[in-house]
Amino acid sequence: LIIMLKTRQCLLGVRTFLGVTSRLWGFIMYILRKHLRTIIQYQTVRYDTLPLSPISRNRLNAVKRKILVLDLDETLIHSHHDGVLRPTVRPGTPPDFILRVVIDRHPVRFFVHKRPHVDFFLEVVSQWYELVVFTASMEIYGSAVADKLDNNRNILKRRYYRQHCTLDLGSYIKDLSVVHDDLSSIVILDNSPGAYRNHPDNAIPIKSWFSDPSDTALLNLLPMLDALRFTADVRSVLSRNLHQHRLW
């Protein structure tokens, strides 16, 4: 009997040790994945903003400053909330930040992942354009996301939400004339062609992003956005890319 008790105690001790070891290993792997993702996503990147030549400066002064309208979900960030049965990100991937909002009197947590290089992207394009957030999400959520992306830089001051969209056949359409009445100076970056279907000549399509840490779509757009600010009418350039809207 004594031998059986000692054997049982030994087994319990082994199970306890294995349980603690498993939890410790899980925590270590979580930290490693988080730091590895940080290294991959937020590696030092550069887009040289060289001083403008006198000709370029004169050209820029001769045209209106452009407005860049930015979508949020699947364009700049991806999020999922409590209760999602099949989140699109890999289990165990740490979010960049967690939002706690109250929707219909129910507290909801959103786990938000930033698209790779979004901070650098916003820093650069804010020097070229007036930035405007236009999301089909509810204001209580969209405002909180925009605050996090702005990070006290005061570059995402103008914001439009679901109530500013037009609901048509179950989809939300973004009317750019709400942002400004001169459509020649407005560019919208959105992963959903349906959102800008009334203004395809003003749109730059971008592939929906969910979790790919090697994504460089935002970086790839910088040369185009840099050049586009010198045009008199952005539609004269963007209208040539209509075929791309069907790719996403």
User: Which tens digit of pLDDT belongs to each residue from 129-138?
Assistant: 999 999 999 9
Catalytic residue among 48, 71, 82, 147: 71
Could you count the other beta carbons within 10 Å of the beta carbon of residue 208?
14
In the block, residue with structure tokens 């009334």: 198
73 is catalytic: yes
Partners of 112 in the beta sheet? 79, 97
Where in the chain are the domains?
A: 1-43, 53-246
Contact 238, 202 (CB under 8 A): yes
Give the pTM. Answer: 0.81
Nearest to 165, CA basis, from 130, 190, 185, 131: 190
Q: How far apart are CA 38 and CA 25, in angstroms?
A: 20
Band of pLDDT at residue 34, cut at 50, 70 and 90: low
71 is catalytic: yes
User: Which tens digit of pLDDT belongs to each residue from 65-123?
Assistant: 999 999 999 999 999 988 765 667 777 789 999 999 998 888 999 999 999 999 999 99
Q: How far apart are CA 146 and CA 230, in angstroms?
A: 27
Band of pLDDT at residue 242, cut at 50, 70 and 90: low
Domain topology for 53-246? Rossmann fold (3.40.50)
